Amino acid sequence: MSSRAAPGAGAEPPQRDGIADRIAAIITALASTSLARVVTDQATAKRIATLLHETLPPEDTAASAFEDETGRWCAEIHFSSPPDEAAVRALVAAAGGDAAAAALVFEQVRPKDWVQASLAGLTPVDAGRFRVHGSHDRGSVPGNRIGLEIEAALAFGTGHHGTTRGCLLALDGLVKRGKYRRILDVGTGTGVLAIAAARAWYVPALATDIDPLAVAATRGNAWLNRAGPKIEAICAAGLSARRIRERAPYDLIFANILLGPLVRMAAPMARLAAPGARIVLSGLLPTHAHAALAAYRAQGLTLEKRLPLDGWMTLVMAKPGREGAPAANDSAPATGWPRRGIVN
């Protein structure tokens, strides 16, 4: 796909109506749906929802994991047409085991306002100094946290998933150590990681995704969180886009995707990283971590930290180079940058 640059500094924020209309149209199409549902533990519910979200066609399905009013964790998949139950059950077994597959039930559901239902189920998520929230929880951000307002949508990354939260916790640890000036976020989804880095350090970030809807969501979220001039979002597959090369080398790279792409990108990602850079890898099951580690160690990187969370693993890799990437006088976040995601 060709790369499309985001508005630069001083540009007017993009209109969000078009994005909202497209999301609403897809959700409306799912108003009368078939439903697959399983009650299980939290980690298993999230693994099931993630696998089905990544495997099934997004124009026909919507997968989620949530805690119901009785405190039980559920994974639900909504289908715009009757699904292949055997195929869905096989996917659930792959993500959650045979017991979860056996407990999966299918039913028809009446039309419902899925936007409001999803918002009601999304509570604010804390990850170190960051709080990810929707507009309905805008007033919940304490003064000592950086608020990131990210609405539930078709792009991945509301902070509720263990991979996104693991990356935010890794970022929080890096903020405590200093300032990274050149940021790349690969597979950005909603843009939450790029926006969080830009908010924490008041630095520019390049966010890339293969999905044009995710790119549009990132641009809208950047302006919503008062980071619009700092975020450039482009549609790109892999790391070969000219704009990615032009802005290299990077001090900090996020890649919250899947094991296969992470392994394939190890060599080009290492070349894009500056000496002393950090690369944050996620989207990994614990059983996948060794394969990812091997691929990046083969490029000369070393493991700095593991962050297991909700059945997922985030890895912080370091590229050899100058000792301590950030300068000592850059240890504090820039002053004057608003701490909240939005000002009423």
What local confidence, expressed as pLDDT, does residue 120 receive? 52
Class of the domain covering 32-110: alpha beta
The span from the CA of 208 to the CA of 42, in Å, is 30
Is residue 293 over pLDDT 80?
yes
Write the CA distances from 14 to 9, 17, 18, 167, 196, integer angstroms: 13, 9, 10, 27, 20
Q: Which CATH number fits domain 156-330: 3.40.50.150, 3.40.80.10, 1.20.1260.10, 1.10.10.60?
A: 3.40.50.150
The answer, yes or no, to whether the previous bond of 308 is cis (omega within 30 of 0) is no
CB 231 within 8 A of CB 162: no
pTM of the predicted structure, to 2 decimals: 0.65
For the chain, the domains span: 32-110, 156-330
Which residues contact residue 304 at a Cβ distance below 8 angstroms, ignoring those fewer than 6 apart? 278, 316, 317, 318
At 69, phi and psi to the nearest 5? -65, -15
For residue 176, what is the enclosing H or E element? helix 162-177
pLDDT in tens, 120-152: 556 788 888 998 887 777 778 888 889 898 865
Identity of the amino acid at 129: R
Is residue 178 over pLDDT 60?
yes
What local confidence, expressed as pLDDT, does residue 336 receive? 34
**Could you give the percent of the chain with pLDDT greater than 70?**
76
